[in-house]
Structure 1
Amino acid sequence: MASTFPVLFMLVVTAALMTVAALFTPKGPQQVTIRTSLMLALAACYLMWMVTYMAQLHPLVSPVHSVKH
């Protein structure tokens, strides 16, 4: 049985990267735009990875085995 550990581990890594992006974005007139873009991109990448990973663990269509006589 597969573990949910990779999903939770990657969530923690993504949250840490979002925190780093929020704290270390250089000051300037576009700071909020850059920060928001980085955090949105990280969230989208994590969600896409998680959906793909979970779809491989629990497929909607099971494999069909053909029986040859």
Structure 2
Amino acid sequence: MANGWSLIIGLAFIVIFCIVSWFAAPKGENQTVWRSTLILSAVACFLMWAITFLAQWHPLIVPRRLDLRPEHEPSRRF
């Protein structure tokens, strides 16, 4: 079941991955490139997942069925 813990667990996983990536990047002249690539790609993937998750968890627009006859539509309460 989707709940708020999913975001916290996902964020914790990404933070741990970023810390490991910082220290496990291969030494050499491209160390900065490795670090920035791994960390930026992990953060970008997390942000995309989190935005998609939150958009489905709390939609801004309530979906309505258009294939129902008027007598079978649920009453609208505002």
Of structures 1 and 2, the one scoring higher in RCO (CA 8 A, sep 6+) is 1
Q: How far off its partner does 1:65 sit?
A: 3.7
Within 5 Å, give how 1:1-69 maps onto structure 2. Answer: 2-66=2-66, 67-68=68-69, 69=71
Q: How far off its partner does 1:32 sit?
A: 0.6
How high is the TM-score relative to the length of structure 2?
A: 0.80
Gaps of 5+ in 1: none
Gaps of 5+ in 2: 72-78
How high is the TM-score relative to the length of structure 1?
A: 0.90
RMSD, aligned α-carbons: 1.3
Aligned length: 68
CA distance in 2, matches of 1:55, 1:63: 13
